[in-house]
Copies of this chain bind each other. A is one copy, B any other.
Amino acid sequence: MPSATETHKFDLEKAVTELKKLGADLYHKDFLLTWQKNDAEIHSVLRIAEILKEMHARNISARMFETGLAVSNFRDNSTRTRFSFASACNLLGLAVQDLDEGKSQIAHGETVRETANMISFLTEVVGIRDDMFIGKGHTYMKEVAEALDDGHRQGVLNQRPAVVNLQCDLDHPTQSMSDLLFIKNHFGGFDKLKGKKIAMTWAYSPSYGKPLSVPQGVIGLASRFGMEIALAYPEGYDLIPEVVQLSRDQAEASGGMLTVGNSMDSAFAGADIVYPKSWAPYDVMQKRVPLLHAGDQTGLKELEKSCLANNAKFKDWECTEEKMKLTKDGKALYMHCLPADITDVSCKAGEVAASVFDRYRDDTYREASYKPYIIAAMILLGKFKDPAALLKTAMERGTSRSLGL
């Protein structure tokens, strides 16, 4: 379903009216974990993201800031989230400034408080990626947020920058919400998601140490839309139990369900959507933390070795054509946060067969295309008291994104 078609159908005025009705209030609040947000808040982010995407397509400027900085704090490598963040900030009129922490400055307590204030005198948003350390990333983001609250309260900061989670140890909300917006549009509406089966499964990869936040983010959000979630992974590749439990609770509350199993085939059976994706086992991620902190290269190598050896037992966890045949009419929608480990393309044996990936390539690109708008929506909600009125003003002022395009 190419966006050109969507574009024609999209009613901007109606969308703004719906946004207004949702009545969500995230002003001066941060976006760290989807499961801390109520339904109106989640739907407001999604609605604003769609409105901004449509405005962009129609060459209507969404510039809300004349000046202002956006700080990006990437504590792990990133290309696509970095570009999504840069795109989102630029769309709203903010200039990105990278906070390049030397390794030595990754300290806690005093330093976090001080740095958070020092970089924020004219800053409107702080985007953070910190997904390497189980038990640390989310904690760090909360520390930054508290420091900013304090700085604003004390009159140090004229304004309170919004904090946006660009992936932590627990959740990857900008990814999961892009995924959700993609399937909503693919299937034709949120109501169409009810009862749909999504297989969120582990998949084999020749690399190691991939965060848990993608699968956790997916089950933690999809579970709110009445979907049947089949979470599956080889024995030992558990996610954080609390996140699985809250997802199960949400699934039941929304009229769906969540099952956990150790068979990729069972998960794929009759699925409308499959999301095969590698991750490291929870206990490996926990063992890594002290080794990373100690800079214990030998220990890390050994852990990697044993982990990869264990991974290799599960090379059959690959999204092949045979596996796809198990899904609904053999035509489940394949999803991935990218980059995927594609067998015979990016590696000898990976998460997905080349022919399967080929068929869904453009879909995975479309899936990714929502992310800049999701981030921009989170910023708008955190920075403006009345986003609906703001968007209305932006549409009515008659400013093109690009002169005479």
Contact yes or no, A86 B97, CB < 8 A:
yes
* A230 CB, min distance to chain B CBs, angstroms: 27
Contact yes or no, A404 B389, CB < 8 A:
yes
**B-side contacts of A342, CB under 8 Å:** 110
Enumerate chain A interface residues (CB-CB to B < 8 A). Answer: 2-5, 53, 56-57, 61-69, 71, 77, 79-80, 82-84, 86-87, 90-93, 95-97, 99-100, 102, 105, 107, 109-111, 113-115, 117-119, 121-124, 151, 154-158, 338-339, 342, 345-346, 361-362, 365-366, 368-369, 371-372, 383-386, 389-390, 393-394, 399-405
**B-side contacts of A102, CB under 8 Å:** 77
Number of chain copies forming the complex: 3
Find A339's partner among B71, B114, B151, B386 (CB 8 Å cutoff). B114
Find A67's partner among B57, B90, B107 (CB 8 Å cutoff). B90
Find A79's partner among B80, B119, B121 (CB 8 Å cutoff). B119
Find A400's partner among B66, B99, B156 (CB 8 Å cutoff). B66
- Can you report 15 residue pairs joining A to B where beta carbons are below 8 Å apart? A56-B158, A64-B404, A65-B403, A68-B402, A77-B102, A79-B118, A82-B97, A83-B99, A117-B365, A117-B368, A156-B362, A383-B402, A384-B405, A385-B405, A386-B404
Find A362's partner among B64, B154, B403 (CB 8 Å cutoff). B154
Contact yes or no, B2 A154, CB < 8 A:
yes
